[in-house]
């Protein structure tokens, strides 16, 4: 559907040019950094977590339009969710990126626009960088991860 593809491209560019929730928090509950050395995408993600819920999300970094737009979209999609809901959303997005699940627009919000990235396997890591950082941050906060994520995971 060409019209939809064009709309999604415009949405990705809008999130890249006007990144939502970019910056840092004064006192984050958890902070993680993910870097993909193969393409140079770099992301620092900060979460404010209260009562098992993601209250605020901030991200900062450099990289391609897909990685930076994905971080913006992820930050909007996860804000206000409980930690289990956020982890379920990460898994849903991962499955969509690998072509193993149909995207749920109600859950993904603007991140539905990244659905087409699945057609370009080399770009999937770009789209997943911030989502994997979110998973890492939640697991770090919950004590499920004690070792840092290897660079490029």
153: pLDDT confidence band, cut at 50, 70 and 90? very low
> Three-state SS for 99?
coil
Q: 147 pLDDT exceeds 70?
A: no
Mean pLDDT value across residues 129-135: 98
Query: Which pLDDT belongs to residue 152?
Result: 46
Domain 2-142 has CATH 3.90.1010.10: yes
Cβ neighbours of 35 (radius 10 Å): 20
Q: What is the pLDDT of residues 26-51, one digit of tens each?
A: 999 999 999 988 889 999 999 999 99
Q: Are 34 and 153 in contact (CB under 8 A)?
A: yes
Q: What is the pTM of this model?
A: 0.90
Q: 133 pLDDT exceeds 80?
A: yes
Q: What is the mean pLDDT of the chain?
A: 92
- CA distance from start to end of the chain: 33
Q: How far apart are CA 116 and CA 23, in angstroms?
A: 27
Domain regions of the chain by residue span: 2-142
Q: What is the pLDDT of residues 52-91, one digit of tens each?
A: 999 999 999 999 999 999 999 999 999 999 999 999 999 9
Of 58, 60, 65, 69, nearest to 25 (Cα)?
Answer: 58
């Amino acid at each position: 559907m060409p019209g939809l593809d064009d709309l999604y491209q415009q949405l990705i560019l809008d999130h890249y040019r006007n990144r939502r929730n970019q910056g840092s928090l004064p006192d984050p509950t958890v902070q993680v950094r993910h870097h993909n050395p193969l393409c140079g995408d770099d992301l620092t993600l900060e979460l404010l977590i209260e009562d098992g819920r993601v209250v605020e999300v901030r991200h900062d970094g450099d990289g391609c339009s897909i990685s930076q737009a994905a971080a913006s979209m992820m930050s909007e999609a996860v804000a206000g969710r409980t930690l289990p809901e956020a982890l379920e959303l990460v898994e849903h997005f991962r499955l969509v990126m690998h072509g193993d699940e149909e995207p749920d627009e109600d859950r993904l919000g603007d991140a539905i626009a990244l659905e087409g990235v699945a057609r370009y396997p080399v770009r999937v890591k770009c789209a997943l960088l911030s989502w994997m950082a979110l998973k890492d941050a939640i697991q770090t906060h919950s004590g499920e991860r004690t070792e840092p994520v290897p660079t490029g995971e």
